[in-house]
């Protein structure tokens, strides 16, 4: 019985693929850069290299380096540098399975990189696409990962001529095909990667490409003398490159494949077990929990094959329990199948039957056949695109040889014309038939679209009228309060000030003084209310100045609030300035009044026609699933964001704080969406 079913551990470390990590690493030289008078960009790059180095050794230290680089990048105010900083922070989140935060940071990086056509920006854009796909793969969506590699990352790298990064992607594509047991295709992509790395053995992924070839040959189960020699040669190459670098991350892959070679090819139980144990020790040192599961699974197969069922059972349950931390359903299927086999082998039929039912229930949800078909179609599309490019390049050469074939073309052209006419007639008839069928559907769709457009326009007019009415009423009330009641109170105070108390008694004098103080408080409170209803600085000096005044008023009341703006103006649209001001005013007031926050961070960034707003506080937080019971304040914020055709994201945790992100495009018309 063979146990060559792959365990579907196609891991894609962010640093190994995109940092182009070398086998040798000099930490001291990078730290010396930080202490030197080097430029800020070089220090940021050094911090990011240090973050990659510590990624699997000390996750907290890795995040510290990445965050330090991010803060420095923010101060530089350069979109490309900031995008790269988002990329490295996302990489730390990704490798420690905080996939939602990783995806959010990668999307921020992508938004900044997509408009930059420079070579470095496009390289990082390809990396971002790769890692967004890798997140999907870790969420059990291998199809999306392969599609993004072939349709997004690889075309960018081919266009800019970055062969090393392209080789990394070929290696990952090979792993995907190995996972779905298409080993010939996997071997082909591993070979492509190895050929590109032939002159770049100093890179860690040069070793991985050779180990990938060993993997494909092992899974083909052809242990002929020629294949045995090939596998041994590639393993020897990998060991030679790694032996002087005991902390290089390809060691894990080497231990797995060297152990499998000893188990299945050389039939040497002790050497296979030694390799698997050394691999587990290495994975534990580097905090590589995902890779440790693969090594434990290989030990299970080794013990089971040698009928050491008690040890095999221990390994199988360790794999099953540790695999719960990862969402790949195919991994769970294999661990369940192993448990069924080992429980049956030890004579526990009832337990084996219960596990078998769990296995069958999960297997019904995994349609591997459909995934294989889609993956093959994606690859075929990619190969067809490459062939079209080759045809275009050969067309000029073919035209030079066409003179020698002219005497044969007369009859060929005539036949082609006749066939072409027949095909055109058939095509026209088919198109006419199809157009008649589509016409009715298009008319129905057009009518429905017109109704929806009219409904949206009516909603826009209603909401616009309501907002304008609110702002006009605020402005009128502010003016009446300030000019009417405010002037009256000021006049009363002036009269009392000019007419001192006629009674010489101290009590009367004290009452007179208290009345004057109360009038001062009343006048100041009236002015504050009028200013909040319609800030004068917003109308005269713009949104940023009004927000700064609003935050300074809160700071005087004891709230620690930080306002950060980058390219944020909206100077051409007063209505939109008022809209954004009201949104931020409501969010900050909620943080102070309802959350009891002591510290508030407000970030406003405008870049390439897009506005990003973040409000963070350290208040009591709230349950985001129960937002309907939170009053009209948050509902108004949602309506205003929808009016701006924007997106609102709320992240809150009780007793930790709340983070609210808003994004909208300043170039789009206001088209609200109601739910």
Instruction: State yes or no: pLDDT of 305 exceeds 60.
Output: yes
Matching CATH topology for 1-19+37-161 and 537-665?
A: no
Return the pLDDT at 675.
34
Measured in degrees and rounded to the nearest 5, phi and psi for residue 647 equal -120, 140
- Quick: pLDDT tens for 538-579: 777 788 888 888 888 888 878 899 999 888 776 667 778 888
Instruction: State yes or no: pLDDT of 139 exceeds 90.
Output: no
The answer to which of 259-273, 518-532, 600-614 has the lowest mean pLDDT is 518-532
The better pLDDT of the pair 108, 589 is held by 108
Q: Report percent pLDDT > 70 for the chain.
A: 77
232-249 exposure pattern, b = at least 16 Cβ within 10 A, e = fewer: eebbebbeebbeebeebb
Range from 20-34, 209-223, 612-626 that averages highest in pLDDT: 209-223
CA–CA gap between residue 144 and residue 135 (Å, rounded): 10
Distance of CA 437 to the CA centre of its chain: 42
13-38 exposure pattern, b = at least 16 Cβ within 10 A, e = fewer: bbbbbbbbbebebeeeebeebeeeee
CA–CA gap between residue 80 and residue 118 (Å, rounded): 10
CA–CA gap between residue 17 and residue 130 (Å, rounded): 9
Long-range CB contacts for residues 521-529, cutoff 8 Å, separation at least 24: 522/489, 523/486, 523/489, 523/490, 523/493, 526/481, 526/482, 526/485, 526/486, 526/489, 527/482, 527/486, 528/553, 529/478, 529/481
Return the pLDDT at 596.
85
CA–CA gap between residue 597 and residue 602 (Å, rounded): 13
- The model's confidence at residue 260, banded by pLDDT at 50, 70 and 90, is very high
Instruction: State yes or no: pLDDT of 418 exceeds 60.
Output: yes
Measured in degrees and rounded to the nearest 5, phi and psi for residue 603 equal -120, 130
Mean pLDDT of the region 411-435: 88
SS3 285: helix
Return the pLDDT at 218.
92
The better pLDDT of the pair 442, 453 is held by 442
- Quick: pLDDT tens for 578-589: 888 888 888 898
Kind of pairing between the strands at 599-607 and 610-617: antiparallel
Mean pLDDT of the region 328-353: 86
Range from 136-140, 383-387, 608-612 that averages highest in pLDDT: 608-612
Return the pLDDT at 2.
42
Return the pLDDT at 527.
57
**CATH code for the domain defined by 537-665:** 3.30.565.10
CA dihedral (48, 53, 59, 61) positive or negative:
negative
Domain 1-19+37-161 class, CATH top level: mainly alpha
Mean pLDDT of the region 103-108: 93
The residue among 267, 290, 265, 270 whose CA lies nearest residue 280 is: 290
Return the pLDDT at 374.
54
Q: Token pair of 126, please?
A: 């390809």
- The model's confidence at residue 3, banded by pLDDT at 50, 70 and 90, is very low
Domain ranges of the chain: 1-19+37-161, 443-534, 537-665
CA–CA gap between residue 48 and residue 65 (Å, rounded): 7
Instruction: State yes or no: pLDDT of 392 exceeds 80.
Output: no
Return the pLDDT at 470.
62
Mean pLDDT of the region 96-123: 91
Instruction: State yes or no: pLDDT of 627 exceeds 60.
Output: no
Mean pLDDT of the region 204-229: 91
The better pLDDT of the pair 543, 469 is held by 543
- Indicate the average pLDDT of the chain: 81
Max CA pair span of the chain: 129
The answer to which of 8-22, 218-232, 609-623 has the lowest mean pLDDT is 8-22
The residue among 191, 122, 190 whose CA lies nearest residue 159 is: 122
């Amino acid at each position: 019985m063979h146990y060559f079913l792959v365990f579907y551990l196609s891991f894609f470390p962010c640093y190994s693929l995109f940092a182009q990590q070398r086998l040798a690493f000099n930490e001291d030289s990078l730290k010396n850069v930080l202490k030197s008078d080097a430029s800020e960009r070089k220090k940021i790059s050094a911090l990011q290299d240090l973050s990659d180095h510590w990624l699997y050794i000390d996750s907290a230290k890795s995040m510290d380096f990445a965050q330090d680089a991010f803060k420095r990048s923010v101060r530089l105010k350069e979109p490309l540098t900031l995008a790269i900083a988002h990329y490295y922070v996302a990489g730390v989140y990704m490798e420690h399975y905080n996939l939602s935060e990783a995806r959010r940071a990668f999307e921020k990086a992508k938004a900044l990189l997509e408009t930059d056509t420079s070579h470095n920006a496009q390289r990082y854009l390809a990396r971002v696409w790769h890692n967004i796909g890798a997140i999907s793969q870790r969420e059990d969506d291998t199809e999306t990962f392969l599609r993004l590699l072939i349709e997004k990352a690889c075309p960018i790298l081919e266009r800019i001529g970055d062969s090393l990064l392209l080789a990394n992607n070929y290696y990952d594509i090979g792993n995907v095909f190995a996972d779905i047991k298409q080993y010939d295709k996997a071997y082909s992509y591993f070979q492509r990667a190895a050929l590109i790395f032939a002159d770049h053995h100093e890179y860690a992924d040069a070793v991985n490409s050779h180990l990938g070839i060993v993997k494909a040959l092992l899974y083909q189960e052809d242990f002929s003398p020629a294949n045995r020699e090939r596998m041994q040669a590639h393993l020897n190459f990998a060991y030679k490159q790694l032996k002087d670098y005991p902390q290089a991350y390809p060691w894990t892959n080497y231990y797995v494949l060297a152990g499998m070679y000893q188990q299945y090819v050389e039939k040497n139980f002790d050497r296979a077990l030694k390799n698997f144990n050394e691999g587990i020790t290495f994975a534990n040192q580097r905090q590589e929990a995902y890779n440790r599961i693969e090594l434990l699974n290989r030990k299970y197969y080794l013990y089971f094959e040698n009928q050491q069922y008690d040890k095999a059972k221990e390994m199988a349950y360790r794999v099953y329990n540790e695999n719960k931390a990862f969402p790949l359903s195919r991994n769970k299927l294999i661990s369940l199948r192993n448990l069924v086999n080992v429980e049956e082998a030890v004579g526990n039929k009832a337990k084996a039957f219960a596990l078998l039912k769990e296995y069958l229930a999960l297997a019904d949800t995994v349609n591997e056949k459909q995934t294989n078909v889609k993956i093959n179609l994606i690859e075929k599309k990619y190969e067809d695109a490459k062939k079209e490019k080759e045809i275009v390049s050969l067309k000029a050469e073919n035209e030079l040889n066409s003179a020698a074939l002219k005497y044969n073309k007369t009859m060929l052209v005539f036949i082609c014309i006749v066939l072409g006419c027949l095909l055109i007639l058939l095509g026209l008839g088919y198109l006419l038939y199809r157009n008649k069928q589509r016409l009715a559907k298009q008319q129905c769709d057009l009518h429905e679209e017109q109704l929806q457009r009219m409904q949206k326009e009516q909603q826009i007019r209603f909401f616009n009228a309501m907002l304008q009415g609110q702002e006009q009423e605020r402005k009128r009330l502010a003016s009446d309060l300030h000019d009417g009641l405010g002037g009256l109170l000021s006049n009363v105070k002036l009269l009392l000030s000019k007419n001192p108390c006629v009674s010489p008694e101290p009590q009367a004098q004290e009452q007179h003084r208290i009345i004057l103080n109360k009038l001062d408080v009343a006048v100041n409170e009236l002015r504050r209310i009028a200013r909040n209803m319609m800030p004068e600085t917003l109308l005269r000096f713009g949104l940023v100045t009004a927000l700064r005044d609003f935050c300074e008023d809160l700071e005087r009341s004891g709230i620690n609030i930080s306002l950060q703006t980058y390219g944020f103006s909206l100077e051409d649209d007063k209505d939109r300035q008022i809209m954004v001001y009201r949104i931020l005013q409501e969010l900050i007031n909620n943080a102070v009044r309802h959350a009891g926050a002591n510290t508030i961070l407000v970030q406003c960034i405008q870049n390439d026609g897009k506005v990003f707003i973040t409000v963070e506080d350290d208040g009591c937080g709230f349950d985001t699933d129960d937002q309907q019971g939170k009053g009209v304040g948050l509902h108004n914020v949602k309506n205003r964001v929808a009016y701006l055709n924007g997106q609102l994201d709320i992240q809150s945790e009780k007793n930790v704080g709340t983070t609210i992100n808003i994004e909208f495009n300043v170039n789009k018309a206001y088209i609200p969406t109601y739910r």
